[in-house]
Amino acid sequence: MNKIPEIPLVMNPMTPEARGVIGFKWNDEAGKGHKIGGEPGWIQGDETPECSQCFTGMTFYGQLDCLGDEVALGDCGRIFVFVCMDCLNTQSVLQCG
């Protein structure tokens, strides 16, 4: 399993509409966990998937955090994306706080 170096992603909304959905009324830290690579910022514990084709652990590719109160994933959830570097299969995992 390969490890991708961590690359933080910073939201840069391009329209007033996009700026309007970013941010949480009661939580300043939520929504700041977007990144490529590194280690998953699990909310509920490790759920690294296994490739359905070669049955090996998949490589963590990145995660997307909640955007804001209007488009929250459950209670400030995150989507984790994994890839098998050999088979090029992908899987995602959603965890909510």
Structure tokens at 19: 């700026």
C-alpha to C-alpha distance for 56 and 90, rounded to whole angstroms? 12
- Would you say 29 and 74 are in contact if contact means Cβ atoms under 8 Å apart? no
3-state DSSP assignment of residue 51: coil
- Per-residue model confidence as pLDDT tens for the chain (97 residues): 579 999 999 989 999 999 888 888 877 776 788 999 999 999 999 999 999 999 999 999 999 998 888 888 888 889 999 999 999 999 999 999 7
pLDDT at 92: 98
pLDDT at 32: 83
pLDDT at 73: 82
pLDDT at 1: 56
Describe the strand order of the beta sheet including 90-95 as a list of residue ranges.
Answer: 7-8, 35-36, 59-65, 78-83, 90-95
